């Protein structure tokens, strides 16, 4: 919105157009939320935690301190679990961002609050699992949580359309991260929990994905442009956490989440469902955005190929890490 005496800037115009679009999408929000509520299955986080394997820790209960050999999970899975949990832990910041962008009232407000309530289960259940299984150092985990949540998270997307594109990609990326971590953990209890969380993320993704399909119809040039910006500059929301890069490299080297996963199981399926690359009738801005997306996918393939051998070496010597510049799939997509 332009202030009195100032000419509206491009940023102001984009924000105002985005806000209009959010209002225009409200009937779709109602419909997709009804669909979401019909599909979502309520579940109880405490029933997924293997309490029978737990024992007291040192501290007020004078139990057994944690030590590394107690964890039976592979190192890369431990890293993935810490990344996934600390990312879920920043839910208060995500709620603030969404509620500020989309609104706290009406259909958008109902969605934001419901989404927040569902997301809160993920951190609860994951932390319970990690503690019960003594999977990672609980003291370091808590120290990292304080640093990460204490720093907060700000979504830098310039307008509501970009924010909507971002959450669509992010929900699908998060589904893949949880599901692949579960498949790699070698523990049926852990796999069951992470599959359960991934099912939630899938429904969140479907809500945003099909809403974005409406945006592509309502404002095709702007929607493809926003999508290109998001795809070409994507980073997971947890990249600012302590030791993110080191952990994400091990996760990538283990194949849990790397550039191939991001390209083939996140970006391409979304682009296919929306038929973005075949959209016709776009103006110069939309056509340029299609070209940017195509070029980015090509660069991702070339970069993934370059680093494949490096990751093979890392897998054979678990502790070694590559030099600067190796992509992780979660935070280095500006390839």
Residues making contact with Fe ion (CB under 5 A): 119, 122, 171, 201, 204
Place of tokens 């682009």: 271
CB of 91 to Fe ion, least distance (A): 8
How far CA 111 is from CA of 26, 103, 114, 115, in Å, comes to 11, 10, 5, 6
How many whole angstroms separate alpha carbon 213 and alpha carbon 104? 23
| Residue in the structure block whose two tokens are 């809403």 | 211
CB of 335 to Fe ion, least distance (A): 25
In the complex with Fe ion, the residue whose CB is nearer, 73 or 206, is: 206
For 5, the token pair is 């005496």
Minimal distance, residue 203 CB to Fe ion, in Å? 8
In angstroms, what is the minimal distance from the CB of 78 to Fe ion? Answer: 19
* Of 119 and 222, CB closest to Fe ion: 119
Q: Which residues contact 174 (CB under 8 A, 6 or more apart)?
A: 84, 87, 201, 236
| Closer to Fe ion by Cβ: residue 220 or 238 | 238
17 and 222 in contact (C-beta within 8 Å)? yes
Under DSSP, the state recorded for 64 is P
Task: Please identify, using beta-carbon distances, which residue of 123 and 331 lies nearer to Fe ion.
Answer: 123
CB of 72 to Fe ion, least distance (A): 25
CA angle at residue 242 from 236 to 244, to 5 degrees? 40
Query: Toward Fe ion, which CB reaches closer, 16 or 99?
Result: 99
- Kindly state the smallest distance separating residue 171's Cβ from Fe ion, in Å: 5
The nearer residue to Fe ion, 122 or 296, going by C-beta atoms, is: 122
- Nearer residue to Fe ion within complex by CB, 134 or 204: 204
CA distance 265 to 202: 12
Neighbours of 7 (CB within 10 A): 7
How far is residue 78's CA from residue 126's CA, in Å, rounded to a whole number? Answer: 12
Q: At its nearest, how many Å lie between Fe ion and the CB of residue 85?
A: 10
d(C-alpha 218, C-alpha 210), whole Å: 13
CA pair distance 254, 152, nearest whole angstrom: 29
CB of 197 to Fe ion, least distance (A): 6
Give φ, ψ of 300 to 5 degrees.
-60, -45
* Closer to Fe ion by Cβ: residue 171 or 214: 171
């Amino acid at each position: 919105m332009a202030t009195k005496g100032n000419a509206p800037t491009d940023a102001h115009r984009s924000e105002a157009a985005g806000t209009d679009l959010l209002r225009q999408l409200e009937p779709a929000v109602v419909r997709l939320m009804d669909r979401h509520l019909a599909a979502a299955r309520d579940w109880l986080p405490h029933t997924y935690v293997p309490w029978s394997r737990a024992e007291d820790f040192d501290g007020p209960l004078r139990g057994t301190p944690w030590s590394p050999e107690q964890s039976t999970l592979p190192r890369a899975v431990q890293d993935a679990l810490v990344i996934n949990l600390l990312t879920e832990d920043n839910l208060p910041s995500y709620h603030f961002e969404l509620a500020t962008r989309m609104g706290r009232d009406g259909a958008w407000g109902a969605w934001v609050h419901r989404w927040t309530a569902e997301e809160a289960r993920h951190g609860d259940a994951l932390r319970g699992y990690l503690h019960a299984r003594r999977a990672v150092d609980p003291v370091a985990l808590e120290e990292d949580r304080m640093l990460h949540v204490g720093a907060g998270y700000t979504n830098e997307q310039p307008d509501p359309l970009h924010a909507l594109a971002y959450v669509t990609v992010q929900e699908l990326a998060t589904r893949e991260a949880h599901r692949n971590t579960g498949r790699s953990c070698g523990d049926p209890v852990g796999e069951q929990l992470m599959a359960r969380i991934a099912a939630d993320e899938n429904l969140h993704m479907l809500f945003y994905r099909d809403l974005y399909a409406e945006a592509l119809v309502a404002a095709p040039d702007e929607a493809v442009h926003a999508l290109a910006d998001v795809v070409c500059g994507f980073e997971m929301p947890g990249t600012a956490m302590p030791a993110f890069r080191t952990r994400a490299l091990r996760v990538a080297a283990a194949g849990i989440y790397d550039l191939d996963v991001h390209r083939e199981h996140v970006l391409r399926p979304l682009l296919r469902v929306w038929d973005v690359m075949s959209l016709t009738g776009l103006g110069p801005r939309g056509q340029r955005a299609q070209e940017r997306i195509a070029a980015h996918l090509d660069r991702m393939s070339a970069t993934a190929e370059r680093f494949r051998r490096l990751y093979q070496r890392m897998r054979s010597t678990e502790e070694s890490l590559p030099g600067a510049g190796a992509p992780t799939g979660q935070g280095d997509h500006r390839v």
